[in-house]
Amino acid sequence: MEFLLIQFGLSIFSYNSETNSYTQQSYNFYVFPRPLNRAAPDCRFMCQASCISFLANQGFDFNKLFKLGIPYLTSDEEEKLSKRVEERQRAREEGLELIPISDEDKPQIEDICSRIDEFIDSEAEELTIDRCNAFIRRLVHQEARMRWPNKIRLESKTEGGGQCLVVQKIGTKEEEKQREVERREKEKSEVQEAVGLSALLRKIADSGKLLVGHNMLLDLCHIVHQFFAPLPESYSEFKALIHCLFPRILDTKVICQSPQFRESVLSSNLNILLETVSKAPFSLPEVNSVENRSYSVSAMKSHEAGYDAYITGLCFISLCKYLGSLQKPEVSTVLTDSSLLNPFLNKLLITRLKDVPYIDLTGKDPNPSRDHVFHITFPKKWRFSDVSQLFNPYGGVSVSWLSDTTAYVGLNRRDQSGSVLKQLSKVGNFKIQKYAEHQASLDTSNQLTHGERKRKLSASEKAPSSKEEPKASSVNIPETSEDDGWEMASGKRRRKRRGPIVTGKALDAERTKNFAENTTWE
Amino acid sequence: MEFLLIQFGLSIFSYNSETNSYTQQSYNFYVFPRPLNRAAPDCRFMCQASCISFLANQGFDFNKLFKLGIPYLTSDEEEKLSKRVEERQRAREEGLELIPISDEDKPQIEDICSRIDEFIDSEAEELTIDRCNAFIRRLVHQEARMRWPNKIRLESKTEGGGQCLVVQKIGTKEEEKQREVERREKEKSEVQEAVGLSALLRKIADSGKLLVGHNMLLDLCHIVHQFFAPLPESYSEFKALIHCLFPRILDTKVICQSPQFRESVLSSNLNILLETVSKAPFSLPEVNSVENRSYSVSAMKSHEAGYDAYITGLCFISLCKYLGSLQKPEVSTVLTDSSLLNPFLNKLLITRLKDVPYIDLTGKDPNPSRDHVFHITFPKKWRFSDVSQLFNPYGGVSVSWLSDTTAYVGLNRRDQSGSVLKQLSKVGNFKIQKYAEHQASLDTSNQLTHGERKRKLSASEKAPSSKEEPKASSVNIPETSEDDGWEMASGKRRRKRRGPIVTGKALDAERTKNFAENTTWE
């Protein structure tokens, strides 16, 4: 979450029952946390050179991103910003805390004040004081309030790269009141501008409509993190938050990997999937585009978020048509409220977990056998090749490191589990234990969630005594609990409405990083 | 140093004694750590939204940066890259470590192998296998070496966004040898390309020429960090490293703030300085531009690194001319080897230290009085306003936080030091101590440099017992020692050559951040 979501794609499909066709409108938003004014948060974020390079070479327009990218705020950030604006308004009424003027700044302040004195006695309507840094402007504000109360008004302005201060004479009481009203209106609309794309995402969440994505777990994480609230530390709270925000989610990759589809869909790579669902036994739906608001398949704008969202929608409808054709009697049109979709609803794929079909946002996650997984303890100097050689006679392993001296290993050949335990438990400088046994041996204090652990830490100010903490890894599945501790602050209930399908796709640096990691082999 | 230097400006001035004029050539380099191949380091770095926005609005071309930015490597990184390339070459000769093929990958590998079998028996010259991710390519390489040794050659290629594998039949032994020679040549030149701008910076360092910058401390830090070596943790080693790399450095800001110039130069802001040195008693030199290689003053390209470097050079020459005119008898031309420059040489300004004129790279730093500075201890709930109110009766303070409960404070009015100590040492929930006394009270273990502390930590694996560590701050000047522990790996001695002036200016996110921090007052 240190990386940024920088493009958000949205494609809206609406079904017309009379013509049995869809209309499609697609949007490609550049998203960037431009601080619109000094009160807005100024975000620091990470980048990875290879991802940036990749995107630039794919035609991603970074100048547009940084100059025109749409900002966003979580609800908490919006509240903070509003409060800060109100504090400023109060400061304008009540005055500022006094800052002593140092000997060094005194000559400049006195020079400015004497120019203001002259200006007040003159016929001039405006006086511009240039080369005025922010601290000097702050001091002049303070002096003006004491020396010429209700006589002049000061405003900061940027001119030719440098900051300057504009001095004007004050009007009648009514004029000043009207001016303050207008200023507050402007400040209010600036807060709305800073909320930016979050307003759209809140609308999408409030609509309760079906949200379709392709391999969307990481996208959802970024969407929630940037537009709604920080991600909870506990896994069950995370699932509850996602479900509360988006009560109807569908990941097309979950459909592709289900038993009914697995044989007809060989690769669920989005572009290949589009090819697959364009040919028999699948067929693409009839989609009418809206002028200037739609992509076409021939555009081939892969990696543009809006285009990816559009393709995802097309694939989804085609998969639905096929699903209907498998029923007896055949169902001619599968819409978003069809019960045929229920088996796929609110399930998300974790790409690297090959034997877990999905995580389930509303129930217990599948709990596949871990009988081929072992916990091992070995000398500190061991590297991947040492571990790997040990298991080569049994068909090899995948390794998930826990520390310098411990790891989980998963056998490639599950039928070798018995021999491994029998023969390797005799090796000298090396200890092996069944996954289930190791899990059971971890005492309760180690099974706390990260969040609970943090709270405990701050209460006792001591680190837990155990050195080894199981890390999230491809063989270490967090346990699902029924604890629904999280609740929406607003407490709104979602209506399940029938209507257009919403497809979201986020383009983020982390995802491209995974791409890069997968291609480090030569 | 988590931020990046993204533009490097260089302006070279050469003096022609016959015409008593200068020629100027300027360069503006976009710098970005594009990983040119998979062996090159893939850098992660921080950005700050406000800086990025500021630069984008100043016309900085981020698309150019990310697509065409020149990469760089430190010497260590270059060595590592060369080693990795050699390892690959060895792997091509000796073969790869075997990876077991999982049941899941087997069908695809077998399919590819049978296509290769067909290809070998055919007349075709080339076979392209598409949709081949990096791991699959790695497995095919491995199979090819076993099944068809010295019969086929595999090469990875990117086509239409996807990765594919190109299979070719192998030529005669001589042809293959020649091919390998060419491949190694290409790999060698790729390493050179990755060294990129570092090659230029090494040339500049090796030249021993005078390097002029304006407020250049942070620029030097970034230059050393990106192009040469990580910054040392100890202050004295840092000074020694900078001096060893660049034996003749001149910061125009040090000249501006020297007693001879302070009265004529009111602001040392670069653009204002240019205005100042364009008028009497200063005068700009006659500078001839080189076609397509020079800026002119009227260009007004502030914040473009190359332009800033050019302006710095102009200001430097004008300041030198004035320096010559102050001598008796007058010195008409002050060149870079003039002894008149000695008082300013190898001194750098720290912007926020108002009472320390400079840090001295080759000697002891100035050691100004700290009699107006106090160490204070206070309740945890105290905030800035609590501390500030306490000292308001004595003319106010600047605060430099050490921890939640301790800080150094510097009085604005030095003459109040006596009263402060007398009156505030009686306040109940608050402790005050002279700066010198507090420094003396810190025992030796706390006075270790950060580097020494780290080494000590790893030796004993225990944290130091004291809770409070003095942090670098505006009143806590690190002590200069004569310890010249650092030596260049190459051990080259620099010749002091007379020649053109080199002016470097780096544009970095951190600097712009400071700009932003200074303007948070309204």
Q: Does B63 contact A56 at a Cβ distance shorter than 8 Å? A: yes
Cβ of residue A519 closer than 8 Å to a chain B Cβ = yes
CATH of the domain at B169: 3.30.1370.50
Q: Does B67 contact A57 at a Cβ distance shorter than 8 Å? A: yes
User: A499 and A390, same structural domain?
Assistant: no
B66 has pLDDT over 80: yes
Buried b / exposed e over B366-403, threshold 16 CB at 10 Å, is eeeebebbbbbbbeeebeeeebbebbeebbbbbbbebe
Q: What's the CA gap between B469 and A7, in Å, rounded?
A: 43
Decide if A29 contacts B31 (C-beta within 8 A): no
Q: Residue B163: its pLDDT value, please?
A: 76
Q: Residue B496: its pLDDT value, please?
A: 37
Residue A87's alpha-carbon distances to A92, A95, A155, B146, B397, in angstroms, are: 9, 11, 18, 74, 25
CATH of the domain at B451: 3.30.70.330
Give φ, ψ of B110 to 5 degrees: -65, -40
Partner residue opposite B134 with nearest CB, options A57, A100, A520: A520
User: B354 and B324, same structural domain?
Assistant: yes
Tens digits of residue pLDDT in B456-483: 333 333 333 333 433 332 222 222 233 2
CATH of the domain at B332: 3.30.420.10
Q: Do the domain assignments include residue B83?
A: no
- Mean predicted confidence (pLDDT) in B151-179: 81
Q: Which residue, of A136, A158, A185, is where some domain finishes?
A: A185
Contacts (Cβ under 8 Å, ≥6 apart) of B94: none
Q: Do the domain assignments include residue A477?
A: no
Q: Pick from B183, B134, B133, B126: which is nearest to B152 by CA?
A: B126
B34 has pLDDT over 50: yes
Q: Do the domain assignments include residue A59?
A: no
Structural domain count of chain A: 3
Cβ of residue A363 closer than 8 Å to a chain B Cβ = no
Cβ of residue A368 closer than 8 Å to a chain B Cβ = no
Q: Residue A486: its pLDDT value, please?
A: 33
* DSSP helix/strand/coil, B5: strand
User: A291 and A155, same structural domain?
Assistant: no
Mean pLDDT rounded to a whole number for chain A = 80
Contacts (Cβ under 8 Å, ≥6 apart) of A81: A39, A40, A41, A73, A191, A194
Chain B residues close to A130, C-beta within 8 Å: none
Q: Do the domain assignments include residue B507?
A: yes
The residue with greater pLDDT, B504 or B247, is B247
Alpha carbon of A86: minimum distance to chain B alpha carbons (Å): 14
The residue with greater pLDDT, A119 or B509, is A119
Tens digits of residue pLDDT in B364-376: 888 888 889 999 9
Cβ of residue B514 closer than 8 Å to a chain A Cβ = no
User: B327 and B277, same structural domain?
Assistant: yes
Q: Does B131 contact A272 at a Cβ distance shorter than 8 Å? A: yes
Residues 74-93 of B with CB under 8 A from A: 88
Q: Residue A1: its pLDDT value, please?
A: 85
Q: Which residue, of A155, A185, A215, is where some domain finishes?
A: A185
Cβ of residue A302 closer than 8 Å to a chain B Cβ = yes
- Mean predicted confidence (pLDDT) in B15-26: 93
Alpha carbon of B61: minimum distance to chain A alpha carbons (Å): 7
Range of the domain at B120: 92-194
Residue A137's alpha-carbon distances to A98, A187, B515, in angstroms, are: 13, 20, 15
Cβ of residue B61 closer than 8 Å to a chain A Cβ = yes
Residues of chain A with pLDDT under 70: 38, 95-97, 159-162, 352, 354, 443-522
User: A300 and A216, same structural domain?
Assistant: yes
B63 has pLDDT over 90: yes
Chain A residues close to B103, C-beta within 8 Å: 412
Q: Does B38 contact A138 at a Cβ distance shorter than 8 Å? A: no
Relative to beta strand B211-213, strand B249-251 is: parallel
Q: Does A67 contact B55 at a Cβ distance shorter than 8 Å? A: no
- Mean predicted confidence (pLDDT) in B283-312: 86
Relative to beta strand A21-30, strand A287-289 is: parallel
Residue of chain A whose alpha carbon sits nearest to that of B385: A97
Q: Residue A162: its pLDDT value, please?
A: 66
Residue type, B369: S
Signed CA dihedral, A48, A50, A51, A57: sign only: positive
Alpha carbon of B486: minimum distance to chain A alpha carbons (Å): 31
Residue of chain B whose alpha carbon sits nearest to that of A53: B66
Alpha carbon of B37: minimum distance to chain A alpha carbons (Å): 10
Q: Which residue, of A428, A460, A492, is where some domain finishes?
A: A460
Least confident of A104-108, A326-330, B14-18, B206-210: A104-108
Burial class of A292 by CB neighbour count within 10 A (0 to 12, 13 to 18, 19+): exposed
B104-113: which pairs have CB atoms within 8 A and are 24 or more residues apart? B104/A354, B105/B135, B105/B136, B105/B139, B108/B136, B109/B136, B109/B139, B109/B140, B109/B143, B112/B136, B112/B140, B112/B165, B113/B140, B113/B143, B113/B147
User: B379 and B407, same structural domain?
Assistant: yes
Decide if A234 contacts A482 (C-beta within 8 A): no
Alpha carbon of A144: minimum distance to chain B alpha carbons (Å): 14
Partner residue opposite B62 with nearest CB, options A42, A49, A63: A63
Chain A residues close to B266, C-beta within 8 Å: none
Residue B20's alpha-carbon distances to A233, B146, B319, B500, in angstroms, are: 70, 73, 16, 14
Mean pLDDT rounded to a whole number for chain B = 80
Query: What DSSP string describes A73-133?
Result: --HHHHHHHHHHHHHHHHHHHH-----PPPTTTHHHHHHHHHHHHHHHHSS-SEEEE-S--
Place B507 in a pLDDT band, splitting at 50, 70 and 90. low
Quick one: tokens of A400? 């998930």
* Residue B401 host element (H or E): strand B397-401
Q: Do the domain assignments include residue B336?
A: yes
Taking the model in full, what pTM does it have?
A: 0.75
Q: Do the domain assignments include residue A83?
A: no
Q: Residue B246: its pLDDT value, please?
A: 96
Least confident of B90-104, B254-268, B407-421, B444-458: B444-458
Decide if B26 contacts B290 (C-beta within 8 A): no
Percent of chain A scored above 90 by pLDDT?
40
Q: Do the domain assignments include residue B87?
A: no
- The neighbour count for residue A134, using CB atoms within 10 Å, is 16
Q: Residue B470: its pLDDT value, please?
A: 35
User: B243 and B343, same structural domain?
Assistant: yes
Partner residue opposite B395 with nearest CB, options A100, A302, A395: A100
Cβ of residue A57 closer than 8 Å to a chain B Cβ = yes
Signed CA dihedral, A353, A354, A355, A358: sign only: positive
User: B131 and B38, same structural domain?
Assistant: no
User: A173 and A147, same structural domain?
Assistant: yes
Q: Residue A482: its pLDDT value, please?
A: 30
User: A510 and A449, same structural domain?
Assistant: no
Q: What's the CA gap between B9 and B219, in Å, rounded?
A: 11
Q: What's the CA gap between B316 and B216, in Å, rounded?
A: 13
Q: Do the domain assignments include residue B359?
A: yes
Q: Pick from A489, A55, A356, A31: which is nearest to A219 by CA?
A: A31
Residue of chain A whose alpha carbon sits nearest to that of B393: A100
Residue type, A123: E
What would the 3-class secondary structure string for A460-485 be?
A: HCCCCCCCCCCCCECCECCCCCCCCC
Cβ of residue A400 closer than 8 Å to a chain B Cβ = no
User: A356 and A381, same structural domain?
Assistant: no
Partner residue opposite B46 with nearest CB, options A44, A66, A269: A44
Q: Residue B115: its pLDDT value, please?
A: 92
B9 has pLDDT over 90: yes
Q: Residue B82: its pLDDT value, please?
A: 92
Q: Would you say the ipTM is above 0.85?
A: no
Residues 157-216 of B with CB under 8 A from A: 161, 163
User: B404 and B300, same structural domain?
Assistant: no
